[in-house]
Chain A
Amino acid sequence: MSRPAYRRPEYQKINKDLFVLTYGALVAQLCKDYEKDEDVNKYLDKMGYGIGTRLIEDFLARSCVRRCHSYSEVTDIIAQVAFKMYLGITPSVTCNNASRNEFSLILDKNPLVDFVEELPAGRSSLCYCNLLCGVIRGALEMVHLSADVSFLQDRLKGDKVTEIGITFLKKLDEKKYRRKK
């Protein structure tokens, strides 16, 4: 196999810029099409869901993650493997409740907002990165885990950090596999 041509490091960054810029153009177009912020948020979430259901296959093919046995393992893999692979960042994970089904991903760096300084005027409840929530939700559903994913805090809205909350809904169904015929 031939050696891949040496690419200047800035070209690799430009490749990532392509995704970030495309996402920005998409949000801008959606803001033009829909007047209400909730509509834009919902549309982004729906698109993210469609992407997530397909991205999970790509993810599983590239990474060698083994089967997870708990929600916190799943969340760790999302933060440390998936985010690192696709966005180059590693959010930190915190668990929010005692029954261990509510988690938060804290992003101190978010490449999607690299070129965004502030939300446009009149769009104060726009969740700019709502696509991410849909992607996580869609990907989890394809591995038979249903979850509610939403932004709890957003730097663009003035909060200190950007926080994504994942709440796993149904318990992993074990009875199905133990049934004797």
Chain B
Amino acid sequence: MADEALFLLLHNEMVSGVYKSAEQGEVENGRCITKLENMGFRVGQGLIERFTKDTARFKDELGIMKFICKDFWTTVFKKQIDNLRTNHQGIYVLQDNKFRLLTQMSAGKQYLEHASKYLAFTCGLIRGGLSNLGIKSIVTAEVSSMPACKFQVMIQKL
């Protein structure tokens, strides 16, 4: 759908805009990832509300994670998460072998170090979605080889 192009371009502009204003000294460097993640958080909260308006209550944490991997990921990124692993003690690893926001970049090592900038928003998206489903978490991401990436979700037991 054409909407996708708009979101991809907007996301890329946001990332470069945040980092450009960091370069000009308006904001410290470390805050960039936080800013992007917070924006993702707000969007994730809003999205999950609209999403789960009519769905049945989730049975357990694993059910929620499966929902994120299947329906949520499919709607936002047009594909499912390729691999979900858990240690059944609150840590989940979501692996996407062809992450939509990274496919536009060259698949070699050239942009590997910059890839994490493009994952911050999505980390926030997941964290925001989980938060509005009643789960407090910390989400981090890593890229070992483009365009595959892993999102690690650590559930915070209150």
Contact = CB atoms under 8 A, between A and B. Distances in A.
B117 interface: no
B6 interface: yes
Contacts of B17: 43, 46-47
A180 B135 CA distance: 72
A16 B3 CA distance: 6
Interface residues of A, number: 32
Contacts of B42: 21, 24-25, 28
A22 B76 contact: no
B106 to A, nearest CB: 17
B50 interface: yes
Prevailing SS type, chain A contact patch:
helix
A22 B9 contact: no
Contacts of A18: 3, 7, 43, 47, 75-76
- Identify the interface centre among B7, B16, B43: most chain A CB within 10 Å of its CB: B43
A55 B6 contact: yes
A81 B71 CA distance: 31
A140 B11 CA distance: 21
Interface stretch (A7-15, A72-80, A167-175): A7-15
Contacts of A113: none
Contacts of A115: 46
A119 interface: no
Prevailing SS type, chain B contact patch:
helix
A86 B5 CA distance: 9
A14 B16 CA distance: 25
Given A55-B5, A115-B46, A14 B39 contact: no
Contacts of A15: 1, 3-4, 75-76
Interface string A9-40: 01110111111011111101100010000000
A12 B5 contact: no
A177 to B, nearest CB: 31
Interface string A111-145: 00001000000000000000100000000000000
A51 B16 CA distance: 12
Contacts of B11: 22
Interface of A: 7, 10-12, 14-19, 21-26, 28-29, 33, 43, 46-47, 50-51, 54-55, 58, 62, 85-86, 115, 131
Given A21-B42, A25-B42, A33-B27, 10 more contacts: A15-B4, A17-B46, A17-B47, A18-B47, A18-B75, A23-B10, A24-B43, A25-B40, A47-B13, A50-B9
* Ranked 6 nearest A-B pairs via Cβ: A25-B39, A25-B42, A21-B43, A51-B9, A58-B5, A19-B7
